[in-house]
Structure formats: structure tokens, C-alpha cells
Structure 1
Amino acid sequence: MIRGFIDFDILEQPSNLTACAPGEPLTFRGLHLEHDHSARAAVNERTLLVLLGEPRIRDAVLAARVADLGWKEVLPALCSQPEALLGKLGGRFALLWIDFGQRSLGLASDRFNTFNFCYAREGGRLSFSDRADGVPALRREINRQAVFDYFYFHTIPAPGTIFQGIRRLEPGSFLIGNAQGSQLHAWWIPHFEESAKADFEQSAHSFKDLIRNAVERELDGSPVGAFLSGGTDSSTVVGMLGRSGNPVTAYSIGFEAEGYDEMEYAKIAAKHFGVRHTPYYITSDDLVANIPRVAASYDQPFGNSSVLPAYLCAKLAHDDGLVKMFAGDGGDELFGGNTRYAKQRIFGYYDRVPGLLKGALLEPVLTGTPLGKLPLMRKAASYVEQASTPLPDRNALYNLILRLGIDNVFEKDFLGTIDTGAPLDLQRRVWQGIDAHSLINRMLGFDWRFTLADNDLPKVVGSTQLAGMNVIFPLLDDELLDFSLKLPPEYKLKGLKLRWFFKEALKDFLPSEIIVKKKQGFGLPFGHWLLKHAGLQKLAHESLDLLVDQRILRKPFVDALFSKHLPAFPGYYGEMVWISMMLGQWIAGQTTPEASSLIGRDR
């Protein structure tokens, strides 16, 4: 952990500044800084520089120097140009620097925010930490808007946090703060080149080499673990590990529920690549035992339901004495593997319909007359409604709380203090900032932010940290990322075929059963289990009752959710119970008075 604050009004440059050692705070007039063993610090005559994580060095000259001399000797010479250093680093890292000559503070996050900074500005003081709940702000209050954003996204995306006045850096960005104020800058904006053609054989060969290199550079002969769901991504990573000769154990979570379990495919992959396999079937008792701890471990509410399986996988590896875990996240978002990409392409076909036909016939008849409500016409009307709504606004048509009805879900007083359009405004801003032309690449760029940086990666990073493990994401290796930016769009979504290039390039590597399987992942059968397990019901009821007491959720909605909706559609309504429960458990797990007594009044 790293945390501290600068008071620019009284900040002074010490005459004999030396970098603080891990665990020893650096404190003098106008500055307090503390960091742990995972950070490296260096200083020159006017600048203090702190590097977090284990970055991959992308600059050949710098890489050679660090390999020869080590970071301890090289880092002091880099203090004078911290912003230039950002472009030379890759992987998981964050950077902090204090320029005493300019009386300024810099904070920077990596491309996907796997290491990040949160900060708060209070007059002439700027406080910061790598956790939202670690920022030493003078006041810390729960933000009502962030609570609504959590229900909308099932997490709280950057730049917001759960706390009023505390912000999180966005992926690939940096902040410069001084006495006059703070400015945010993007140091990395992905550019999709969108080549029309590519040599498939050469591309496939390079692709496999890049994955192999990304895996093997993280190996030193020590035993490692790997997540193995049985999908193409995790199976590819496990396969490369197995072929490397390094000792590896693959860990898989199964569910005794139809439509959720894919242990069969995980076993196929483990056998195919000859790796040790440790399967574990999660139970309702596992959820009751671990939900409170997992929820409280995050720096803000986190509602991705696969966080529990991820944590239990990582805990198995830790209990086996391992310290490093490989994950397959990123393949879908780099190479076009999510089913919604094909679905949105189908809606994109509507753009080819002549405007006169759409405006004078299809839309008025199907969406504006009783004809569109007839059984045979409902699908056509639904298609026209969705297709005529542009992205990213179209995503709101599928949003859980919007479909349930926010006036039905939330208390009127709560809704009166928040902007219900803010989540979509953020999505529109991100969508407009994507440097791509094709629909598939724009959707990928969008998911790099909301699916990867704000959701899936925090899930894996947070769950492995809680289990005492370090996680590696080889499919998000910078060279592989650069490679994906240059692939033709049709290689990612060929017609309606998802991740066409990925599967074609690896069809002689992966088992055929995994190439053709449907995507599942580590999703929980939570709603189905909730109907049958008394302990889980008690935990869920207590959690949602807390949100009713705080006048966030309406009691009639919660009562109907448990008594009517959940029994009828446990998969769908179970998700609403889950995200509500995880918020309630996060609040219950907080120790500060500000967090435990939420937001009963308008601030």
C-alpha cells in the first residue's frame, strides 16, 4: 500500500532528502509519504520518484540498463523526466513523483488501471493512496451518486469512488497537482490501425510467439498456478505454461448446477496439456463463509459475482504454497470473443436500410401503432427499437436496474439527490474518445474500459491479493496488445463468428472441444442456491434490509424480489440480490462511522 498527502501551501524542499525505505514514512514540512515493500523509491537533487509494481520495460536501452545495474541504480537518473518514463513502461505499474522545484505532485496509472491511484483535493492539500479507503482525506463520506452508479455498473467506474470528493485516476492517465490546482492528462490512448488485409499464416505465427513469450518471461522455474475455466483464454495460457516445462497447477471451480458448470472442459484442457489439475466444487456454504470477507476486502463496493470463485481458486493455490497465479483475462476484449459483439453487428445491419423506409414505414408502424404489439410483430418491433438506438445508448436498454424501473427499485428521496443520467454520460464520453472506425474495434475499446479496467481486472487483482497471491495477465501483454491493434477488424469478428483469428490461429494447439464450446466462465448459480439455502437467505435478507433501513432500496421492491421475482426467474433476479447483498456487506464490513452509517440524508 502507498498513501500520503502534500500541503502545497507549506511544502518545503528538504536540504538532505533521501528516499524513504519501505515501511518507514517520509515526513517533513508539507509532506507525508509511506509505502510498502512493493514500491521502489529514488531521489535526485529536486525530485522524489516512487515506482509501484513490476513493470515490463518497453524501451530497449532502459531495459538493458536495468538488467545490468538493477532498478536501485537506474531509478535516480529517471527522476528528472517521470512523464517520459511512462511511455517506456508496460504491464502492471503505477508512478508517483514529487518535484520540489516546481512544488508539484504527479500520479500515474498503467494502461488498464491494475495499479492505480485515488486522490482528494482539499484546499492546498492533495491526499492520495492506491486504495479509495486509504486516502487520508480530512473528511470521508459516502457518495450517493456512486451508490447509484454501483447499481448501474455493478462496480464504481473511474473517475468516481464510493467516497465523496475522492477520485480515481482513469486508465492510462496521470495527474499533476500544485498550489493552483490539479490537471488530468492521458499518457496512453490506444489507436486501432484497422488494416484491411493481413497475411494470416505470418500473423498466426507471430500471435503464438507473442503469447508464448508473454507467459515464459514470467517464469523462473518455480512452481506456479493458473486459473482454468475451460474456455479458450484460460486454456491457451495453461497450454503455454504446460509446454514451457515449468511446474504448473491449474485450478478450476465447478458448480453442481445445470448450465453453469464447465469442469468437463477444464479437465479436457488439463489432460491435453499434461498439467496438474486441482478441481474444486463450490457450495452454498462456501458463499456464506466467504462473502463478508471478500466484500469487505475491496476499497469500495464490488458486485462481480465471479469474484468468489476467483478468490477460492487463488486460495487453493496459496494453500498449496504458490505465490504466482496466471489468468486468461483479456482475450475476449482484444480479439472479439464476447457474444454481444455479434449481436450488435446484427443491429448494425439496420443502418443499411434506406432512411425513407425507416422513417416513413418501419419505425412509425412497428413502434408507434398497435401493430407492433401483435405476437408475430413483437420481435420485429424490438429489433427496430434497439437498432434505431445508437451505441452506447443501446446498452441502457439491457441495464438491470433500468429494466426493473428505478422508481420501483429506489426510494424517492434517494433518487432526488442523484443524476440518473450520469452513468450513460460517462459511457458516451468514453465511446466518443475511442480512436477507431469499425464497430467491432469501437466495442472492444469500450470494453477495455468498462469490462476490463473497471470490472474483470479488479475482480482478479482483488481476489488474488486477498488470497496472498500475485497475478499475471499474459493475454494483456503490451506487445500482444499492440499486435491486436493492427489486426483487421474482420479477423476479430468475421461475419458473426466471434474471435475468428484467435481460434483459427490456435486450432492446432487447443483441443477441438474447447474451440467449439460456448462461452460460460466462472458465473455463480447464486439465485438458484439462494432459494434452497437457509444461511444464504439469512445473509441476503440482512444485507438488503440494511439498504432498506438506509432508505436506498424500497421495501416493497425488496419484499417482491424475494417472494415473487426470485422464485420465478432465479438467474435474472438473483443478480439483483447479489449486487445489493455485496453493497450491504461492504457497508457492514466498514469500521469507520462515516461508512457504517451510510447516507440517510441529502448532503
Structure 2
Amino acid sequence: MSGICGWLGADHLAIENQQIIDRMTGSLIRFDSNPVQTAVQGNAALSVAAKTSHSHLYEKEGLLVGIWGRIKSRNTDLQTAIDARGMAAALADQWKQKGRQAFSELAGEFVCCIVDSHAREVALAIDPLGTHVLYYQSLGDDGILFGTSADALLTHPRANTEINPQGLLNYLYFHMIPGPDTIYLAQKRLLPGEYLHFHDGHTEIGRYTQIRFDEDIKRPFPELQQEFLSLLRKSVSEAVQGQKAGTFLSGGTDSSTLAGILTEVTGEPAKTYSIGFEATGYDEMHYARIAARHFATDHHEYYVTPDDVVETIPLIASVFDQPFGNASALPAYYCGRMARNDGLDLLLGGDGGDELFGGNVRYAKQYIFSLYDKIPAPLRNYLLSPFILSLPENKGPKLLRKARSYVAQATVPMPHRMETYNLLAHYGFETVFSPELLAKIDTAQPALLIERTYQDVSHARSLINRMLAFDWKFTLADNDFPKVVQACHLAGMEVAFPFVNDEILAFSLALPPEQKLKGTQLRYFFKQALRGFLPDEIITKQKQGFGLPFGVWLQTHRPLREIAADSLSDLKSRNIIRTDFIDQLLDQHLHEHASYHGTMVWLLMMLEYWFKQHHPIKV
């Protein structure tokens, strides 16, 4: 994986600059030891650490240009320049001519950094869906510090290491810290498709591209199907580019599709990797095997055990430079490790398929709730809602209880209706957080962030498209991409996401909403287009996910229970979480519903492990 880092600031001695950038880069490559390219000026430095195919650096007359990732251009003139002079040199020319619009002509999964040490100017950008992160910290009028790792920034002598209390709240609410905020008060992150421009002490942040849905295009299904399959093959082929590649295989539609397409593109059995769990309701190995047999892949399996979890928790905490609570990072790591041991260069991840084509269960659920709004407003607001909501919440016939529950949720406006099951909100902020932390945070911020993100796509008329765009930020850029990228980074494995190829994204933007969610039928077009290619069992299976049976295992596995209890005991001393909540969580809640309350145990445990690995000083 590796990454990119650098700064523009006050002048230092050349030897000091070299030592600083070496420390920053060392943080980037501590798990994979990829080659490093570095350029140093009197008041600036830039370093790209990655294998040569993903690393581009240009230096001329005070101008430093660094690019990290899989990058190309759909502009034929720019691509010709890239082929002739190299990606970084071509972007340098584009920047001089077009400024921030130069970024809009790029495609792929990338981070771009441009530093003009003479003009005291910096430009930063990440790709439109945010497959990689880019952190930055203002150095005041002097300049700016930036990098793809928060840990790398912290090695700079002018880095601010103060913890952001709001980040702690956001972590427990979202199970990660959504951009643009971070766990550090002085650090921010670029959002997908954003650029940052620093010049003469002033910083401007904006979007260099706008993603817009076109909901009025109607095309015949055979034409759509042919184009879609062609784009899939092209995307997988571009991602592989002669590398030794394999793919995750969960048994879902996305990973199974990639397994089949990879076999077609390479002309040999795809190497596929699956994780199983010996826990009822969590294991999908049966479906992974169906897909593996169907495409005759070179299939590899590993069953994660509670002992594996005990061993791997500190490693997972070490690779994430912010508190991160998605437990499926652990099985993703084991897939990456198997692939690395097999000598592969690249794993293909199916992330993005659900969010482009309508595959998450909550889309169908929210559609059902939205039907309530079709009842005439006077009848709904003055008769049905008051009557049904006046019924006792947990008493009476089952049908009436269900009706009350339905109306109670349906009357919550979007997007907040999607948060009615939020774990932290269920407990209550005052129940969970210490009074000292509550005094430093804004408990209304998560709701404001959710509302603002949802309203960013107000041009979309359909409910499904607004939910998809919402998930591009919270599910993909803030959660799934970092999860897979960092877990594979820990395993020393590169990862690519063929479903978020720019051409497939454009295709999905012009796909009619009813082709994504037809009534309650998820991914309607996607599944119809792949009938005859995917096994019927894969197309018709219920979506399950890649969850870790942590709460279940806590009940039976003593070492796992002990490290969880020890970490939560240590967390008490940080004065973040109320001690009585921790005691009640372990002594009562966990025994009432292991899988539900086990999620909070995991979140708090990973928070404490993150502090131990990255920031041992007490908050």
C-alpha cells in the first residue's frame, strides 16, 4: 500500500529536511517496505512510497509533483502526454495551464500532491469516490503538512498531537471517524473528489468534480447488459495489468462476479480467498464454495478462530491510524495474508457494488417506510399517526405492536430514519460518556453531519439514489475502503476496487432508479444482467455480510473475554467512558444479547488498543 507525504513550511537545513521526510516515509512503509522516491527543497519536501507502477514523482525548478495510486486519464491529449513524459510531469504541465481543473481529467484510484516551493503554493486532491485518504494540517501562514497517514504527519516536528474529543463521540456513533474530521484536533481529511489549494497563507477547499445522477435516461435492457459486462471486463483487466492477482470470495454477488470475470480476463482459474467462522448464522463458506466450483477457481479457505482474534487485535489496532471499529477488518486481513503467502501482488475487492447498484438491505427497508408518505397527509397526520402512536409500545396484539413500530419509524424523516437503530443512541450519550467528555463535545454533530451529507445530493429525485450517494461517503470512503486497504496493507498486499472504476460509476449514474431497487428487489439490473453467468444460488441468496461473531465468542472463549475485560478496565482511566456503563455492559448487557452488545465491547476494546498503539498519553 504505502502512500505519499510531504509539507510546505519554513526553511530548514537540507539535512534536517531529509531526516524529517525520512521519518515520515518510514511510517508509511513500516508494513510493506516499498520503494521510496523523495524530493527535498529548502522549504518543502515530497515523498512517494509505492511499487513503481503506482508511484510518480516529478521535480523541476521548485515544482514538486507526487502521485500515488492507479491513475490514468480519459482525455486523449493528456494520456498522450502521460505516455510520452510520465504521469507526474504531464500533471505538472496541466496544473500550470488549468489549475485545479487539471484534477478533473484524471481517473482511477489516486492521491495527487503538488508543491511549488518558489510560489509557496500547494494543491492536493483525491479521487472522486475517496478510495484513499489524505490528511492535512495547517502550519499557519507558513504552509501545510499532508500525507496519506495520520501517523506519518505526527512524525513532523510541527505536528499537533492533541486529541479531538468530538472524534471520540463520532467514533462510537459511526464506528469510525467520518471525514473531514479526524481523531486529532489539528488534522483534517479531504472528502471524496475534493481539492485543497494553499497559496500566500490562504487555504481553499472545494470539489474539482461533481457527481450527478441522470434519472431520465431509458435504454433497452440488452444494450445495458452488454455495456455493463464489457465495462466489468475492462475494469478488471485494467486493475490487473499483468500482475499476479486474486480476489476476495465471500459468496455474495460482487465477489463471485469478480471471481468469474478475473477467470475470463486472465484465461486461467482465478485465485480466490474465503474466510469462515465456526458460529451459527455467521458462516457463508457454503456460497463461496458454490461460486468457486461454478468458475473452477483455485480456491483457498481459512476458518478464523477466537484464538486468531486474540492474536490479531493489537495488529489491527496498529495499522489503523484512527480508531476504527469495523470488525470485518480482521477477516479481510486473513484473506490478504493468504494471498501474500501465495505470492500474489494484488487482491480485487468487491466494495462499491452494493452502493452503485442498490444492494444493501436497508434500501428495501427504507422503501417500505417511504410508502407511508404516500397516504394523504391529512389522513396520515391527523388520524393514523396520532391513533397508532398512542397505542402501548410493547403491549396488545402482535399486529398492533408491529403497526406502532412501523409508524414510529416511518414518521422519522430521512436521513435520520436510517439511524433509528444506532447503538450509541440506544444507550444514550449521557449513559456512555463521562461528564468531563460531554462538556467538550457537541452531541448534535452526528445528526448535522448526516443531514448535510444527505442534502448534498438534493438533485436526485429518487430515494434510492440519495441513499446510494449518502453511502458513498459513510459506507465506502469512511468505512469500507479504509477497512480493506488497511487490512491488506497489514498483510503486505495491494488491493483494487473494480466496481468503482470511473466508467462503471458513470454507467450507474445513468441507470434508472427502478433498475437499482425495483420495489423491494435489491440490485435488480445487476442480478438480471448476470443471470446465466452467476450461479442461481448466488443471485437468489439473502445478503448476510462479513461480520465477526465476536459477541458470541465472548461467551465461550476465556482468553478473548479476558483481553476485552482488561482493555475496558484500562479504558476507564482515560476518563472518556463512564465506569458504571462499562461495568453494566460487561456484567449485564453482554449476557442479555451477546451479538448486539458485543459490538459496543468491540468498539471500546479497539479504542483502548488504538490509544495503546498510537497515543499512550492519557486524554
TM-score by length of structure 1 reads 0.93
Counterpart AA for 1:346: I
Give the CA deviation at 1:23: 4.0
Give the CA deviation at 1:271: 0.9
Q: Please say if 1:51 is aligned against 2:67.
A: yes
Structure-2 residue corresponding to 1:198: 219
Structure-2 residue corresponding to 1:512: 536
CA 1:76/1:187 → structure 2, altered by over 3 Å: closer, same or farther? closer
Structure-1 residue corresponding to 2:423: 400
Give the CA deviation at 1:395: 2.4
Q: Please identify, of 435-444 and 91-100, the stretch whose mean Cα deviation from structure 2 is larger.
A: 91-100
Q: Which of 301, 306, 313 lines up with 2:335 in the alignment?
A: 313
Q: Which of 356, 366, 371 lines up with 1:344 in the alignment?
A: 366
For 1:139 and 1:103, locate their aligned partners in 2 and report how far apart those are by CA, in whole Å.
Answer: 22
Contact 1:108 1:116 in 2 (8 A): no
Contact 2:4 2:66 in 1 (8 A): no
Structure-2 residue corresponding to 1:134: 152
Q: Please say if 1:84 is aligned against 2:101.
A: yes
Structure-1 residue corresponding to 2:28: none
Counterpart AA for 1:540: A
CA 1:310/1:46 → structure 2, altered by over 3 Å: closer, same or farther? same
Structure-1 residue corresponding to 2:19: none
CA 1:238/1:72 → structure 2, altered by over 3 Å: closer, same or farther? same
Counterpart AA for 1:553: I
CA distances 1:175-200 after superposition (whole Å, capped 9, x unpaired):
11133321111112210001263211
Structure-1 residue corresponding to 2:289: 267
Q: Please say if 1:381 is aligned against 2:390.
A: no
Q: How does 1:408-557 map to 2 (within 5 A)?
A: 408-434=431-457, 435-557=459-581
Q: How does 1:360-379 map to 2 (within 5 A)?
A: 360-368=382-390, 370=392, 374-376=396-398, 377-379=400-402
Stretches of structure 2 that go unaligned for 5 or more consecutive residues are 14-21, 26-34
Contact 1:243 1:273 in 2 (8 A): no
Q: Please identify, of 551-560 and 572-581, the stretch whose mean Cα deviation from structure 2 is larger.
A: 551-560
CA distances 1:415-451 after superposition (whole Å, capped 9, x unpaired):
1210011111111111111141100000000001100
For 1:75 and 1:370, locate their aligned partners in 2 and report how far apart those are by CA, in whole Å.
Answer: 64
For 1:262 and 1:400, locate their aligned partners in 2 and report how far apart those are by CA, in whole Å.
Answer: 25
Q: Please say if 1:357 is aligned against 2:379.
A: yes
Number of aligned residue pairs: give it. Answer: 587
For 1:203 and 1:309, locate their aligned partners in 2 and report how far apart those are by CA, in whole Å.
Answer: 35
Q: Please identify, of 454-463 and 70-79, the stretch whose mean Cα deviation from structure 2 is larger.
A: 70-79
Give the CA deviation at 1:34: 3.3
Q: Please identify, of 519-528 and 233-242, the stretch whose mean Cα deviation from structure 2 is larger.
A: 519-528
Structure-2 residue corresponding to 1:215: 236
CA distances 1:119-151 after superposition (whole Å, capped 9, x unpaired):
111322321111122223432111111011000
Using the aligned pairs only, state the percent identity: 43
CA 1:329/1:321 → structure 2, altered by over 3 Å: closer, same or farther? same
Contact 1:224 1:323 in 2 (8 A): yes
- SS of 2:420's equivalent in the other structure is helix
Stretches of structure 1 that go unaligned for 5 or more consecutive residues are 13-19
Show structure 1 runs of 4+ deviating over 6 A. Answer: none
CA 1:183/1:371 → structure 2, altered by over 3 Å: closer, same or farther? closer
CA distances 1:155-209 after superposition (whole Å, capped 9, x unpaired):
0010011111110111110111133321111112210001263211110111111
For 2:589 and 2:81, locate their aligned partners in 1 and report how far apart those are by CA, in whole Å.
Answer: 62
For 1:542 and 1:490, locate their aligned partners in 2 and report how far apart those are by CA, in whole Å.
Answer: 50
Structure-1 residue corresponding to 2:48: 35
Give the CA deviation at 1:567: 2.0
CA 1:56/1:363 → structure 2, altered by over 3 Å: closer, same or farther? same
Give the CA deviation at 1:67: 3.6
For 1:464 and 1:68, locate their aligned partners in 2 and report how far apart those are by CA, in whole Å.
Answer: 33
CA distances 1:319-349 after superposition (whole Å, capped 9, x unpaired):
1111111111111100000110011011111
Contact 2:44 2:115 in 1 (8 A): no
Give the CA deviation at 1:216: 1.6
Structure-2 residue corresponding to 1:16: none
Q: Which of 560, 563, 570 lines up with 2:594 in the alignment?
A: 570
CA distances 1:363-400 after superposition (whole Å, capped 9, x unpaired):
22232465895444322222222111111121231111
Contact 1:158 1:168 in 2 (8 A): yes
For 1:140 and 1:60, locate their aligned partners in 2 and report how far apart those are by CA, in whole Å.
Answer: 44
Counterpart AA for 1:381: R
CA RMSD between the two structures: 2.2
CA distances 1:550-591 after superposition (whole Å, capped 9, x unpaired):
12222222222122221221111111111111111111112x
For 2:295 and 2:38, locate their aligned partners in 1 and report how far apart those are by CA, in whole Å.
Answer: 48
For 1:316 and 1:241, locate their aligned partners in 2 and report how far apart those are by CA, in whole Å.
Answer: 18
Structure-2 residue corresponding to 1:180: 201
